[in-house]
Structure 1
């Protein structure tokens, strides 16, 4: 297969069908815009499995995604989208940049989900956007922003409820979207790489913060999360 794109966590390959590409999940974990990097054998397979499970769950609940089918341990077939250069972050609890920038204690539950926009650029360290900036710079239209926000809130509703039943708090998460023909689809991945996930009772993290801040074995956290969502 011809390599179309390679990012920090995935490779994207062309197929014979111009509407479809192959995602291959890598075993690398990165943090702080790639400054911290390490390889973990089996991570790619776990992330592919988690993405498959959660995207199928979302599809069943009315969220349109780019997922088509699983191909191998670490590969899946997806619709080829024109990716929007923005990330939508939904925050249910204070953590990460919002806690750091606003001097908040970690773990404060917000009265409603907070939606943030960021420009995807490692070089610029993913600067924060507002609606006007995103539209004025040509990244999206206001109508498209409505689609992104509505989809992100639906994802939050579905995943928060599902995970809480499994004993997991969905503190926050990042989503990426792409255009496919006349539709905007949830794209990229949904894994502990792009979510903050805490044990409901102990607040132990199951996500990439274990790697970012040396809070425990990364694969053990991902494996425990996978076990919980498949029970």
Structure 2
């Protein structure tokens, strides 16, 4: 294996067969020791969260594949905390796509003049640039097109798929008595130029609440998978 990138929550390796291997870490994003899926720094390390995150990612990616939604998922090895995926090219230097059902986190920090904490949102889709130096700035559809990052047509597909995927995740959480507040997704293009879901879907990239209380990533995965 050839290490090609070491990220905040995963290491990325190139395999000899043309596939990519993702190694899940026990690190989660956040600030001051508190978990925050929208943060661009590692906030804390939780033992076992990498393996648990992979279990939930496997669950959701197989659920999405059954629904006919294209992803990069190939297979997962839970014991090794690794996932095999097909190669995909990211948009620009990387985008994060957030689907919001309630006003919390960075949405509330930016729009608190108008939004109330926990205010319901109608599957609001927000795109941000992966840019630690500039604090992952939000970017509009027009700017994405003008800067050559994503075409207007691709943006509409991105938005539709984000809402569709997030809706499936929300439904699955609801079956366990959990409410999805927001979720962060990533997309890329496969070798044929098709827009596909990449990265992961786990407790580390979403906020879920139960009876008004936020659920930690590890606890979320235990609830979802009946561990």
- C-alpha separation between the residues in 2 aligned to 1:8 and 1:36? 6
Q: CA deviation at 1:36?
A: 5.5
Question: Residue 2 of structure 2 aligns with which residue?
Answer: 2
| More RCO (CA 8 Å, sep 6+) | 2
Residue pair 2:186, 2:199 contacting (<8 A) in 1 also: yes
Question: Residue 213 of structure 1 aligns with which residue?
Answer: none
Describe the shift of the 1:146–1:44 C-alpha distance in structure 2 as closer, same or farther (beyond 3 A): same
Question: Residue 106 of structure 1 aligns with which residue?
Answer: 117
Equivalent residue for 2:168, pick from 158, 161, 168: 158
- C-alpha separation between the residues in 1 aligned to 2:128 and 2:58? 25
Length-normalised TM-score, structure 2: 0.88
Equivalent residue for 1:129, pick from 116, 133, 139: 139
Unaligned runs of 5+ in 1: 207-220
**CA deviation profile, 1:104-156 (whole Å, cap 9, x unmatched):** 3321112x211111111111110010001111111111111111111101112
Equivalent residue for 1:42, pick from 40, 43, 48: 48
Superposition RMSD in Å: 1.6
- The secondary structure found in structure 2 opposite 1:16 is coil
- C-alpha separation between the residues in 2 aligned to 1:34 and 1:161? 27
Equivalent residue for 1:171, pick from 181, 190, 200: 181
- The secondary structure found in structure 1 opposite 2:133 is coil
Question: Residue 65 of structure 1 aligns with which residue?
Answer: 71
Number of residue pairs matched by the alignment? 213
User: Is 1:14 the equivalent of 2:14?
Assistant: yes
Length-normalised TM-score, structure 1: 0.87
- The secondary structure found in structure 2 opposite 1:153 is helix
Residue pair 1:50, 1:191 contacting (<8 A) in 2 also: yes
- C-alpha separation between the residues in 1 aligned to 2:95 and 2:42? 23
Q: CA deviation at 1:35?
A: 5.2
Equivalent residue for 1:90, pick from 92, 96, 99: 99
Describe the shift of the 1:7–1:116 C-alpha distance in structure 2 as closer, same or farther (beyond 3 A): same
- C-alpha separation between the residues in 2 aligned to 1:13 and 1:36? 20
User: Is 1:224 the equivalent of 2:219?
Assistant: yes
